[in-house]
Amino acid sequence: MEKRSGETSDDKHDAVPSCSLPSDASSDNSCGSTNLASGDKVMGTLKNIGQNMLENIQVIESAFQQDRGQPSPMENFSNNILGGKGQVTAMAALTELRKISNLLREM
């Protein structure tokens, strides 16, 4: 590999500080504060995801509740036979999603 004038083999490595080394509690590590700030950002993002999940779950649950209105006896019979198992499965899935959402929001 050719070297341009004034370039040494170490120039590339000096451009970006490395944060991959384990931090020593007694040393002043500026990378540690960067990692903490990044961690805070990730936590905020996870909380937002949890909140958005909850809002979407509530929309779906309200749609199910509206579908449970007072249909005619024949419609009710058809819905119970054709959609009963699917609706129960969907509600169980929503319950699990709500648990995940709550965990994310509590982070």
Contacts of 54 (CB under 8 A, 6+ apart): 98, 101, 102, 105
Could you tell me which residue, 83 or 5, shows the higher pLDDT?
83
The Cα 61–Cα 42 span in angstroms is 28
The model's pLDDT over 75-98, given as tens digits with 9 standing for 90+, comes to: 555 555 546 778 888 888 999 999
Give the pLDDT score at 7. Answer: 47
Q: How do residues 34-75 score in pLDDT, each as one tens digit?
A: 777 888 899 999 999 999 999 999 999 888 887 766 555 555
Distance from C-alpha of 33 to C-alpha of 104, rounded to nearest angstrom: 23
Mean pLDDT of the chain: 71
Question: What confidence score (pLDDT) does residue 83 get?
Answer: 60
